[in-house]
Amino acid sequence: MAGALTWILAAMSWQNLLAGFLGVVLGVIFGALPGFTAAMGVAVLMPFTFGLSPTTGLMLLAGIFCGAIYGGSISAILIGTPGTPSAAATVIDGFEMARKGQAADALREAIVASYIGGTFSAICLAFIAPPLARFALKFGPPEYLLLAIFGLTIIASIAAKSLLKGIIAGVLGLILGAVGMDPLLAYPRWTFGIPSLVSGVGLVPALIGLFSIPQVLSMVGDPETRIKEYSGKVSGRRWPTFKELKEFSPIYLRSSLIGLFIGALPGAGGSIAAFLGYNEAKRFSKHPEKFGTGIREGVAAAEAANNAVTGGALITMLTLGVPGDSVTAIMMGALLVHGLRPGNELFTASAHVIYPFLVGLIIVNLMMLLVGIYAAPYAARVTKTPVSMLAPIIVALCVMGAYAVNNDIMDVWVMLFFGVVGYLLKCGGYITIPIVLGVILGPILESNLTRLLTITQGQNILMYVLSRPISVVLLLMIIASLAWPVIQLRSVTARRIAEVAD
């Protein structure tokens, strides 16, 4: 107990608090700017941490990490463009809320959900890191493959109105995701001799293009789709009510668990976590048909999941030395510079560094909550900006953001290509989310399929997959996920018939 108190006090030193706060503010700004990702923020500030104490340095980087994942939701809600790939799922309901004039409510929901997800994962990191990391290691090629397929089944529920169009968009996404080197022989496919495309279509420019350009074009072309001004009282409800929290607690919990676990899987990432969280919230909702029309549940589910990824990703990095994404890879470098080696020794021999940091992570999330809550009403004023000013600013931000990812002008063209494709599809009544899912999940699906095939050479693949318990569970989940919309439709129809009969 005395130990725990020392760690809490150590975490609360003014240097740590200042570093955490600065990190959060910078992170939120980085996250809110499309094209500037958490990884970039962490990479830029990493050299500065060499001169700080390890705990202070880690708190600075963790602040950026958490802040940026939350910050992505701000632009997702206000301008319909995810600030980071993690916030792609937030656009679905967040932006619709903004269009209905509920921007500040959406922003409040995003920060509350982000805080709950982040804190939940930080607490899990402190208490159940080793068993969770061991479980994450059990995921091999067949599990990743099935997880990717499970992710693709989201198309079935999102494109319920026109399944065919949803599938077409999804396949288009998979094809675009196949640009670049093949995962077996490194042969460049569909690169047209352009070196930038050899490593594939950049996710960030693709997302910026898909979301923002069609938005801007229709914003300018059609006055009906303009964002309504925020109509609620700005000063009235800054904090959520207890009733709201209680009502949404199943969503928070479910999404946090999904985010935590997806975060612990190397190579999966926050965008997948958010989509899965969103989809499960919809599945278990009493009114799934309202998802996508701009309801708070949609924002809550996506944001709790993507911020829960932070703790999950840190778990695999800190306990196994396996960074799950680029942010934790850079943070690992910061640990190493201070002579700290990831692994079990970190929690024993270096407990005086790591436990204050874990306490610090909880504090960082609290700071994020405060920054978000107090900044939300001001951020919501973006919706008061006239379209004639907002549209050009968004386009400028998008071009700058696409370029900033890799300092590569080719990414700007990729962004514009996706923008035009997105606009044409939108005109044809297609939705863009399936394309996003295809681009994100396609490479995971393909590389794990080739891995599975190389590992099981000469064996019966089906038997191999069925001999693995986690694979079987995932397989059942896929079947259930595909059957669910049909069952739901039947029950709805049955209810309607019953109502009519009454």
- Binding residues for another protein (CB under 8 A): 39-40, 42-44, 46-47, 50, 136-141, 181-188, 193, 195-199, 202, 266-267, 316, 320-324, 326, 329-330, 332-333, 336-339, 341-345, 406-408, 410, 447, 450-451, 454-455, 457-458
Point out which residues pair with 188 in neighbouring strands.
181
Are residues 201 and 439 in contact, defined by beta-carbon separation less than 8 angstroms? yes
Nearer to another protein, 288 or 311 (CB): 311
Point out which residues pair with 189 in neighbouring strands.
180
Nearer to another protein, 187 or 378 (CB): 187
Are residues 259 and 312 in contact, defined by beta-carbon separation less than 8 angstroms? yes
- Between CA 158 and CA 220 the distance in angstroms is 27
User: Smallest distance, Å, CB 389 to another protein?
Assistant: 32
- Between CA 43 and CA 52 the distance in angstroms is 16
User: Smallest distance, Å, CB 326 to another protein?
Assistant: 6
- Between CA 190 and CA 31 the distance in angstroms is 31
**Which residue in 139, 27, 121, 147 sits closest to 318, CA to CA?**
121
In the block, tokens 């009235």 appear at 236
Considering only CA atoms, give the Rg of the chain. 22
Please report how the helices 141-152 and 270-283 are oriented relative to each other, as an axis angle in degrees rounded to 10: 50
Nearer to another protein, 101 or 333 (CB): 333
Phi-psi region of 292 (alpha: psi -120 to 50; beta: other; left: phi over 0): left
Nearer to another protein, 238 or 341 (CB): 341
Nearer to another protein, 245 or 473 (CB): 473
50: amino acid identity, one letter: F
Nearer to another protein, 377 or 438 (CB): 438
User: Smallest distance, Å, CB 410 to another protein?
Assistant: 8
User: Smallest distance, Å, CB 451 to another protein?
Assistant: 6
Nearer to another protein, 8 or 43 (CB): 43
Phi-psi region of 193 (alpha: psi -120 to 50; beta: other; left: phi over 0): left
| Cβ neighbours of 486 (radius 10 Å) | 10
In the block, tokens 């969770």 appear at 132
At 431, phi and psi to the nearest 5?
A: -105, 155
User: Smallest distance, Å, CB 257 to another protein?
Assistant: 21
User: Smallest distance, Å, CB 67 to another protein?
Assistant: 17
Nearer to another protein, 90 or 447 (CB): 447
Are residues 352 and 53 in contact, defined by beta-carbon separation less than 8 angstroms? no
User: Smallest distance, Å, CB 98 to another protein?
Assistant: 32
Residues in contact with 447: Cβ distance below 8 Å, sequence separation at least 6, in sequence order: 183
User: Smallest distance, Å, CB 328 to another protein?
Assistant: 9
C-alpha distances out from residue 339 to 130, 316, 335, 346, Å: 21, 19, 7, 11
At 189, phi and psi to the nearest 5?
A: -110, 140
- Between CA 226 and CA 367 the distance in angstroms is 33
User: Smallest distance, Å, CB 119 to another protein?
Assistant: 26
Nearer to another protein, 47 or 250 (CB): 47
Nearer to another protein, 112 or 268 (CB): 268
User: Smallest distance, Å, CB 319 to another protein?
Assistant: 10
3-state SS track over 322-361: CCCCHHHHHHHHHHHHCCCCCCHHHHHCCHHHHHHHHHHH
**Which residue in 374, 381, 299 sits closest to 110, CA to CA?**
299
| Cβ neighbours of 54 (radius 10 Å) | 20
User: Smallest distance, Å, CB 271 to another protein?
Assistant: 15
Nearer to another protein, 159 or 176 (CB): 176
User: Smallest distance, Å, CB 490 to another protein?
Assistant: 40
Nearer to another protein, 140 or 232 (CB): 140
In the block, tokens 């107990």 appear at 1
